[in-house]
Amino acid sequence: MYFTELGLDPKLLRSIADRGYVELTAVQEQTLAKTLEGQDVAVQSQTGTGKTAAFLITIFQKMLEAGSGPRKKALIISPTRELAVQIEGEANLLNRHLGFSVGCFYGGVGYASQLGALKNGVDVIIGTPGRLLDLSDSGRLSLKDVGYLVIDEADRLFDMGFLPDLKKIIKKIPERGRRQGMLFSATLNRVSRLVAAEYLDHPVSIEVTPEQLTVDTITQELYHVKSHIKLNLLLGLLQRNAPRNVLIFANMRHRAFRLAKELEANGYRTFHLTGDLPQKDRLRVIQNFMAGKFPILVATDVAARGLHIEDLEMVINYDVPQDFENYVHRIGRTARAGKGGKAITLASEGTSDHLEAIERFIGMKIPLKPVTDDLFARDLSLEKMPRHGWGQGPRHAGSRAGRRQESGHGRGYGRGRGRSRPGR
């Protein structure tokens, strides 16, 4: 279905065309069929399916239909500052020809610019729960005129402990029936359904089945490799594929930090993104990566949840995610808006249970690729990085484990190839 078939305002259609949107995604088609009629919805949708555009198009179309009379505000609640900023960016692009005001409110930064936006008036309020409550409790943000409520990444909001704050915020806006509500969640779990039932007005449930969770345009590859030579394989795959940009996932923040340093030592311009980074540093890293200022970002799930990157060419699971749903969240960063992309997973010892759960969830076997000698590359980090001080740092070349790595001994996943062996 095409956006031109929705009967949208011509100015909004112009903004949609400027964004390059032509055909609706499945989630957009199902959601807009209900929300443009004024119905509340509870939508199961992972990132990368166009859900942000779905709720923003609904909001802008409804505001345009309201004309020049008293204008109802939209409130979009996001679990993280990064996601709020990305929603703001999309809203500004879709608002290009419309003339509404968009404001983004989150903690970790000063109040001056946000208070200035409130003073000038904001039609679309995007923010994280803590800052929204802070501004509301201080009387600087009025929520009594909210006519559209969006709860985005609901499962993430609840995982982060924001349910009490969410309830306080909703008590400050008009009751259900006097506003339109939309809830979006990667999974409609028990808490999400309870919140939808309590705070939305007879919401229509829109669910994506597990078979639809992986994007058809993603090329998926799986490699089994011993953990002590996994970096060699990663370096070889980076050399062979030469991606313009790549997001690499690690399960632990110390692993993400160390891997970024190892890649830097091998000549790759790389930064890491973890939950313990100061907020201003996280925003700077994300913005620079999205702007193409460096090609490789190593991140944990906590830091990258909700991250939207245009034209991301590749995702690599350096660690197999322990939560099968996170596999879908990770690979969904690429192949967005109908474009192609590649997702590579490196599986080491002790990950078979995780892989089985992932494959059951996505309804398919991840294509297994052979691990051959020519896929490995030499790891220069052993020669450049300090032996101590990096958490679980590189083993000494003279130790038993180090000699085993350098001699290429070891059995299990993949062919043994020492991390510092020349040419590998």
Asked if residue 111 and residue 60 are part of one domain, the reply reads yes
Structural domain range at position 119: 3-208
Asked if residue 281 and residue 178 are part of one domain, the reply reads no
Asked if residue 390 and residue 248 are part of one domain, the reply reads yes
What pLDDT sits at residue 393? 38
- Looking at 193, 208, 223, which one is the last position of a domain? 208
The answer to whether residues 296 and 249 touch, using CB atoms and an 8 Å cutoff, is no
CATH number at residue 357: 3.40.50.300
Q: Does some domain include residue 42?
A: yes
Asked if residue 37 and residue 168 are part of one domain, the reply reads yes
Asked if residue 45 and residue 139 are part of one domain, the reply reads yes
Q: Does some domain include residue 270?
A: yes
What pLDDT sits at residue 395? 34
Beta carbons within 10 angstroms of residue 263's beta carbon = 23
- Looking at 187, 208, 229, which one is the last position of a domain? 208
**Element housing 119 (H / E):** helix 112-120
Residue in the structure block whose two tokens are 């830097």: 264
What pLDDT sits at residue 417? 38
Asked if residue 17 and residue 150 are part of one domain, the reply reads yes
Q: Does some domain include residue 421?
A: no
What pLDDT sits at residue 404? 30
The number of helix segments (H) and strand segments (E) in the chain equals 17, 13
Q: Does some domain include residue 419?
A: no
Pairing of strands 218-224, 73-77: unpaired
Q: Does some domain include residue 374?
A: yes
Asked if residue 234 and residue 156 are part of one domain, the reply reads no
- Looking at 190, 208, 226, which one is the last position of a domain? 208
Q: Does some domain include residue 423?
A: no
Beta carbons within 10 angstroms of residue 277's beta carbon = 17
Asked if residue 196 and residue 63 are part of one domain, the reply reads yes
Size of the chain, expressed as the number of residues it contains: 424
3-state secondary structure of 399: coil
d(CA 297, CA 314): 11
Per-residue pLDDT of the chain (424 residues; tens, 9 = 90+): 899 999 999 999 999 998 888 888 888 999 999 999 999 999 987 666 789 999 999 999 999 999 877 789 999 999 988 889 889 999 999 999 999 999 999 988 888 989 999 999 999 999 999 999 999 999 999 999 999 999 999 988 888 889 999 999 999 999 999 999 999 988 787 888 899 999 999 999 998 665 455 566 789 999 999 999 999 999 999 999 999 999 999 999 899 999 999 999 999 999 998 877 776 788 788 889 988 999 999 998 866 665 667 788 999 999 999 888 788 878 888 876 556 789 999 999 888 888 998 888 888 899 999 999 999 999 998 877 765 444 443 333 333 333 333 223 333 344 433 443 333 3
Q: Does some domain include residue 289?
A: yes
d(CA 26, CA 308): 18
Asked if residue 19 and residue 45 are part of one domain, the reply reads yes
Instruction: Say how far residue 269 (Cα) sits from the centre of its chain.
Output: 22
Asked if residue 300 and residue 355 are part of one domain, the reply reads yes
Is the pTM above the cut of 0.75?
no
Asked if residue 265 and residue 368 are part of one domain, the reply reads yes
Asked if residue 204 and residue 217 are part of one domain, the reply reads no
Pairing of strands 341-347, 204-206: unpaired
Distances (CA, A) of 32 to 2, 206, 259: 12, 11, 42
Count of structural domains, the chain: 2
Q: Does some domain include residue 422?
A: no
Beta carbons within 10 angstroms of residue 200's beta carbon = 22
Q: What are phi and psi of 413, to 5 degrees?
A: -75, 125
d(CA 15, CA 57): 10
Q: What are phi and psi of 73, to 5 degrees?
A: -90, 160
